[in-house]
Amino acid sequence: MTAALPIAIGLVALLYASVGHAGATGYIAAMTLFGIEPDVIRPTALVLNVLVATIATVQFIRAGHFQAGLFWPLAAASVPCALVGGSLRLPTVAFEKLVGIVLAVSAVRLVRESWSPGRATPDASRFGPPTRPAMALFGSGIGMLSGLTGVGGGVFLTPVLLALGAAPVKQIAAVTAPFILVNSLAGLAGGLIAGRALPPVSLPVITAAVLGGAIGAHLGAVRLPVRALQLLMGAVLAIASVKLFGLM
């Protein structure tokens, strides 16, 4: 392994953590480009997800953006489904293409909104979480998809919460990070239950992910204004969409 892979992993972690994500789709893309075996990629991405999502969760909670009432119904429904999904080996190509379209549309919408007059500091009164049954439905579907594809579910959760106007951008990021954490842990557990061992992850890759995640999470939780966070979130969704279409 050359130094290029840890550098790529660190940059992915920095970008994704700044919007409350952990970077699984980016890690998958990077490892694919470096010729790593497919059976190693999914669990490795989840391991890196756990590290970066833990850092992002702590940073966004410390900054005061976390909404427990929005997080817990989603997490309670998603974790069992992520556990099941992580134990399965199913073809998900068609579903990934559909999700790729959703992410691409969400990315365009988010970037357009960030440049619309009067949207840089949105009125908090227009936000409101969906009903608990709706959150349970979203959580279970995203959890299953998370386990099947080897990602934490953030790239699926974020556009849903944005479309529903569930919360301001930074609060969505603060909910997304722990959502990714618990679903990544569940996906790993599902793989272990199915008899698949965790692959070894090199120290340079772990170090790069931790450093990138720490820097990105700090910028997103404390330093970046809402408009910059919207643009970065749009970029993350666009990258994830391109990955799901198999273009990188």
Q: What is the pLDDT of residues 68-81, one digit of tens each?
A: 999 999 999 999 99
Range of the domain at 83: 4-120+127-244
Q: Work out the mean pLDDT of the chain and round it to a whole number.
A: 82
Q: Please tell me the pTM assigned to this model.
A: 0.81
Count of structural domains, the chain: 1
Give the model's pLDDT for residue 181: 95
Contact call for residues 231 and 219 (beta carbons, < 8 A):
no
Q: Residue holding tokens 């603060």?
A: 174
Instruction: Dump pLDDT digits (tens) for 31-47.
Output: 877 888 877 887 898 89
- Average pLDDT of the segment spanning 147-175: 85
The pLDDT confidence band at residue 115, using thresholds 50, 70 and 90, is low
How far, in whole angstroms, is CA 205 from its chain's centroid?
A: 19
Which of 49-63, 113-127, 151-165 is predicted least confidently? 113-127
Closest CA to 124 of 158, 170, 160: 170
The whole-angstrom separation of Cα 220 and Cα 200 is 30
- Does position 240 have pLDDT exceeding 70, yes or no? yes
Give the model's pLDDT for residue 132: 84
- Does position 10 have pLDDT exceeding 50, yes or no? yes
